[in-house]
Amino acid sequence: MASSEGNKLWGGRFVGNTDPIMEKFNASIAYDQRMWEADIKGSKAYVKALQKAGLVTQNEMEQILTGLDKVFDEWSKGEFKIKPGDEDIHTANERRLKEFIGDPAGKLHTGRSRNDQVATDMRLWLRDAINTLKELALQLIKYSLCSHDLTNIEILCPGYTHMQRAQPIRWSHWILSHAVALSRDVERLEDIRKHVNVMPLGRLFLCIYNFKRILYGLLSMCLCTAEFLFWASMCLTHLSKMAEDLILYSTKEFSFITLTDAYSTGSSLMPQKKNADSLELIRSKAGRVFGRCAGFLMTLKGLPSTYNKDLQEDKEAMFDTYDTVHAVLQVATGVISTLMVNQPAMERALSPDMLATDLAYHLVRKGMPFREAHSCAGKAVYIAESKNIHLSQITVEDLQTVSPLFDKDVSSVWDYNRSVEQYSAPGGTARSSVTAQIEHFRTWLQAQKQKP
């Protein structure tokens, strides 16, 4: 009696049936069916290459292409029925193709292993996924700049280090700091796309699949998956940091910003609450992606070269990470493009002690070495604290006990606008510098749109 294993792509040398528990344990159709479109498109391109190589006739190729179109149509309409024994998306599609056209379906697998097929499918799927995520990341950069750049360039707010007020900055400068991180994420994603956009089946199939080059050596698809997971971890690190800032800024203690109702939720107990759940979820989704990345790297670290079944774990990690980043980028764009800035609250948070560095620079401009000037400014801060007054309220006479270089002109230090304007180097907080950064990103965004 023929074994049911003979119906599998690999079953010819087996006698007897696979244990049902093992059958379920081994199957990947539950999640790799997401690649149905890539699998069918890949197979359509592959059969054309087989015909060019003389391995299928013109008539057989046409039958296979027609059958694959029917399979595609069933998936598109949600009518495809997965059956027991459909181990993965490749087996399922080939099984259905055979039901449509009969024996010619068996020639589709000529010259390629299932590993070749999955490597090609994943590259096709991930290539499209990367294009989508890049576009979403560009939208986030665009909307953050368009919503909060030149219109808010005059808004000053505290800059923080160690969660302590540090120096005055422009709100636009804070926005730009996150745009820089995201722009690097976009550029890293472009590099990964170059690594993904490689044909694993040889030169014959290069143009048919529209890949840029062929793959030499035994570089596994899993390395591209690992790169993608690491990229996602870095991207969500940046978005989580941005979310954390905005969560703090939206609290009553800060009141720097207000989230729109569209990206907030309430409390089932306390009617006054307006919770930044959108941002909190962005922060938590970062941990989810980190876990996927770390988990897959743990799978990879002890494997011998080439293919091992352990690598079946790459797909769930890849799909879940894509879905997570896809959602996070959209929500982050919605939050950042609709939030309302409370300029009075930001400017009330500015305090003269934040100009202590400027007090040191005042002495530097009079010839004092910075280390000595820093010490003098620190002593001035101590005097203000001991007298329970603002730094700007110290008398010239008290300042002269710290350094004779202090004079009446020290009054010019106590100006927040003057403080931010002194940093006019590229990347600085001066209006001219911030404007130049915004224009740089607008040009950069335009160049990104023109890339293929």
**Mean pLDDT of the region 105-111:** 91
Q: Residue 215 pLDDT > 50, yes or no? A: yes
The pLDDT, as a whole number, for residue 197 is 86
Pair 211, 201: CB distance under 8 Å = no
Q: 133-191: per-residue pLDDT in tens?
A: 999 999 999 987 766 566 789 999 999 999 999 999 999 999 999 999 999 999 999 99
| pLDDT at residue number 339 | 93
Catalytic residues: 162, 267
Residues of CATH 1.20.200.10 domain(s) within the chain?
115-349+445-450
Cβ pair 179, 147 in contact under 8 A: no
User: What does the pLDDT look like over 18-43, one tens digit per residue?
Assistant: 778 877 787 788 889 999 999 999 99
Count of Cβ atoms closer than 10 Å to residue 208 Cβ: 17
Predicted local distance difference test score (pLDDT) of residue 304: 84
| CB 380, CB 394: distance < 8 Å | yes
Element (H, E) at 176: helix 171-196
Distance CA 125, CA 117 (A): 12
Across 127-133, average pLDDT: 96
Cβ-based neighbours of 375, under 8 Å, separated by 6 or more: none
The token pair that represents 73 in the structure block: 């149509």
**What single string gives the DSSP state of each residue in 280-292?**
HHHHHHHHHHHHH
CB 222 within 8 A of CB 138: no
**For residues 209-220, average pLDDT:** 56
**Mean pLDDT along residues 198-223:** 60
When mean pLDDT is compared across 4-13, 101-110, 252-261, 306-315, the lowest value belongs to: 4-13
Through-space distance between the first and last CA atoms of the chain, rounded to whole angstroms: 56
DSSP 8-class letter at 310: G
Output the average pLDDT for the chain.
90
Strand partners, 156: 170
The whole-number pLDDT of residue 26 equals 75
Confidence band (pLDDT; 50, 70, 90) for 307? confident
Q: How far is 141 from 180, CA to CA, in rounded Å? A: 9
Intervals of CATH 1.10.40.30 along the chain: 352-421
How far apart, in whole angstroms, are the C-alpha atoms of residue 356 and residue 166?
9
Q: How confident is the model at residue 4 (pLDDT cuts 50, 70, 90)?
A: very low
Architecture of domain 352-421: Orthogonal Bundle (1.10)
- Domain span(s) for CATH 1.10.275.10 in the chain: 4-111
The angle that helices 221-249 and 277-301 make with each other, rounded to 10 degrees, is: 150
The pTM of the full predicted model, rounded to 2 decimals, is 0.89
Torsion angle in degrees (nearest 10) through CA of 92, 98, 99, 103: -160
| Secondary-structure class of domain 4-111 per CATH | mainly alpha
Q: Which CATH number applies to 115-349+445-450?
A: 1.20.200.10
Answer yes or no: is pLDDT of 214 > 80: no
Q: 439 versus 116: which is more confidently predicted?
A: 439
